[in-house]
């Protein structure tokens, strides 16, 4: 039962990533899975619900992956942790077309969720605590200036999203991902690192 549900989610992810919500049909997803519509509707009440569950599942998967990386770097400095988290976010999302679609907040693809399902807010809710925790730790160790992580974390996440979704930046290859990750990290280092006293 769970294997079939996972198979449906995987097929839906491929379709939504490539064609968007509007152009993807339940019939196509069923054909990919070699199941009937009746079988699909035993697991998901509608295409909307399928997309919502898929979004929540994928966002949680990304959060768990990034959290594991943060925990594995617990012995590193907050600056190193933040640098590696941002690089991981950019590279990870570069390779995940479905998450990139959510990050781009693409109205023409997903207009049905403007009011009843805020996937953008769900993504931010999952990601912001990871950034805020590192900033808070950096402040307590006097590695970072006394900034408000509740304000700074959303700004950092928006910068990551802007880098990934911007057409003007030509973000199309993994080499570009590495370049912009390094660029953003350098900007944050200069903006967050506590200046040493000259005395």
Q: Are residues 83 and 175 in the same domain?
A: yes
Tally of structural domains, the chain: 2
* Block residue for tokens 């200036």: 145
Report the candidate in 57, 71, 62, 5 with the shortest Cα–Cα distance to residue 35.
Answer: 5
What is the rounded CA–CA span in Å between residue 70 and residue 63?
10
Give residue 112's domain range: 55-192
Task: Examine residue 50 and state whether it is found in any structural domain, yes or no.
Answer: no
Residues 40 and 59 in one domain: no
**pLDDT value of residue 17:** 87
More confident call, 73 vs 119: 73
Phi, psi angles (nearest 5°) of residue 181:
-65, -45
Q: Where are the alpha helices (DSSP H) in the chain?
A: 2-23, 26-33, 37-41, 47-72, 78-95, 97-104, 113-116, 119-140, 149-165, 174-192
112 shares a domain with 80:
yes
Distance separating alpha carbons of residues 179 and 10, to the nearest angstrom: 31
Angle of the 2-23 helix axis to the 26-33 helix axis, nearest 10: 140
Task: Note the pLDDT tens digit of each residue in 12-44.
Answer: 999 998 888 888 999 999 999 999 999 999 999
State the average pLDDT for the chain. Answer: 82
pLDDT at 84 over 70: yes
- Two tokens, residue 32: 């990919």
In the predicted model, is pLDDT for residue 107 greater than 70? no
> How far is it, in rounded angstroms, from Cα 101 to Cα 84?
23
**Tens-digit pLDDT profile for residues 131-166:** 999 999 999 999 998 999 999 999 999 888 887 776
* Residue 11 belongs to domain with CATH number: 1.10.10.60
Q: Are 157 and 93 in contact (CB under 8 A)?
A: no
Q: Is residue 133 domain-shared with residue 64, that is, in the same domain?
A: yes
Residue 85 makes CB contacts below 8 A (sequence gap 6+) with 66, 69, 70, 130, 131, 134
pTM of the shown model: 0.77
Mean pLDDT of 48-58: 90
Which pLDDT score is estimated for 174? 57
121 vs 155: which has the higher pLDDT: 155
Of 157 and 170, which is predicted with more confidence?
Answer: 157
Q: How many angstroms separate the Cα of 37 from the Cα of each of 29, 92, 148?
A: 9, 33, 50
């Amino acid at each position: 039962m769970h294997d079939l549900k996972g198979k449906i989610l995987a097929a839906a992810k491929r379709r939504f990533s490539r064609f968007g919500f509007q152009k993807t049909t339940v019939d196509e997803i069923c054909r990919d899975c070699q199941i009937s519509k009746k079988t699909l509707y035993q697991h998901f009440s509608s295409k909307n619900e399928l997309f919502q569950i898929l979004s929540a599942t994928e966002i949680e998967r990304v959060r768990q992956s990034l959290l594991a990386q943060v925990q594995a770097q617990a012995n590193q400095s907050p600056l190193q942790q933040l640098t590696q988290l941002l690089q991981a976010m950019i590279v990870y999302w570069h390779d995940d077309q479905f998450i990139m679609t959510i990050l781009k907040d693409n109205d023409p693809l997903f207009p049905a969720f403007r009011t009843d399902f805020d996937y953008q807010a769900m993504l931010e809710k999952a990601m912001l605590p990871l950034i805020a925790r590192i900033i808070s730790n950096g402040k307590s160790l006097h590695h970072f200036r006394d900034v408000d992580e509740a304000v700074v974390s959303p700004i950092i996440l928006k910068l990551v999203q802007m880098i990934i979704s911007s057409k003007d930046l030509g973000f199309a290859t993994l080499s570009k991902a590495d370049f912009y990750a390094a660029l953003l990290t350098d900007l944050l280092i200069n903006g967050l690192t506590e200046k040493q006293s000259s005395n």
